[in-house]
Amino acid sequence: MRPIRLGILLLLFFPAALFAQKTYPTMGQVVYEDASFEKLLPKTSRVEVIATGFQWCEGPAWVKNGGYLLFSDVPENKVYKWDEKSGLSVFLQPSGYTGRGVYSDEPGSNGLLIDKLGRLVSCEHGDRRISAMPLEKGGKITLAGNFEGKRFNSPNDVEEHPVSGLLYFTDPPYGLSKKQDDTSREMKEFGVYRIEADGRVTRQIADLTRPNGLAFSPDGKTLYIAQSDPEKAVIMAYPLDAKGNAGAGRLVYDATPLVKAGKQGLPDGLKVDRDGNLWSSGPGGLLVLTPGGKLLGRIEMGALTSNCAWGDDGSTLYLTVDDYVCRIKTATKGAGW
């Protein structure tokens, strides 16, 4: 999702010397709602800005074997690559729309994932599909392009189940030209789907108004969904049975009061650490919650925060924040590291 930009600019570009010196500007501040939050983010924690100058950043994904970060610039229809040594470069263009003419204001890829096979899995707005591509060479294949013969709206975020390896993804309307009112919509629901081992697609959740980011508990028994609806800005949890099917959802955290209080942003992308805590973009920046939904702390960014991903040795959290890409060193590690 690409909300209205705040226009808060830290700087217009980074001289090459900054990358060479390995020093970066900082932004934002850590807010401690509970004393235990200091065990996850020490008082010395700082958010570093490692790149800027984009339109709307999304879908960060760390490539462990290569030691670099990939992320989407959705309006620009590009995937960028960043690493500590070389800095920034274009990794893939086009990233999510391969048709002719102008498709929408968000045609490119959104959520990205490096799956267990080492492929780049992309949520493609313009081509309205989930695709997979080997990182080093080779073209894309379509993993999912429709459900029961109807094209998806605009796949937004994707996660791989930690046990089964099956892919789950969300399908809100943000990539369509006229969003929910677009005449090309074929799907009534804004659903959550799973790609089966045989390639079939099953709908797991059908009653959310704006499903966006998703993540799994470390044991794979719970699916978390962030909903980007200003009238019901919530994070939900769904138990998964032995076959991975979602049961009735429960409310984990209601961020609607923060939205009503004027905090900019909505629940969007989220990740889980090794202890099951949720790190979710939301009103004001990034929210950190216990599995039970207790707010431990926040990272106030001063700009709309879209998503996050664990990287480096698993203890660095990378953030996509409007037109910035940032990182913060934590005292924990991501689930699965």
Mean pLDDT confidence for 211-239: 98
Which pLDDT belongs to residue 16? 43
Q: Which CATH superfamily is domain 25-329 in?
A: TolB, C-terminal domain (2.120.10.30)
pLDDT more than 90, % of the chain: 92
**pLDDT score at 10:** 44
pLDDT at 22: 75
One-character DSSP codes across 266-298: -S--EEEBTT--EEEEETTEEEEE-TT--EEEE
Query: What mean pLDDT comes out for the span 73-86?
Result: 97
Q: What is the CA radius of gyration of the chain?
A: 18
The pLDDT value given to residue 136: 86
Q: Whole-angstrom Cα distance, residue 54 to residue 138?
A: 27
Round to whole Å and give the CA distance between 306 and 165.
Answer: 25
Q: Prior bond to 75 cis, omega within 30? A: no
Examine the pLDDT at 18 and tell me if it is beyond 50: no
List residues bridging with 272 in a β-sheet. 278
Per-residue pLDDT at 11 exceeds 60: no
For residue 20, pLDDT over 90 is answered with no
CA 291 to chain centroid, in Å, comes to 19
Average pLDDT score, the chain? 94
Secondary structure string (H, E, C) spanning 186-254: CCCCCCEEEECCCCCEEEEECCCCCEEEEEECCCCCEEEEEECCCCCCEEEEEEECCCCCECCCEEEEE
Residue 9 has pLDDT above 50, yes or no: no
Give per-residue pLDDT as tens, 22-56.
789 999 999 999 999 999 999 999 999 999 999 99
Give the model's pLDDT for residue 17. Answer: 41
d(CA 256, CA 258) in angstroms, rounded, equals: 5
Domain extents for the chain? 25-329
pLDDT tens digit sequence for 290-333 = 999 999 999 999 999 999 999 999 999 999 999 999 999 999 99
Rounded to two decimals, the pTM is 0.93
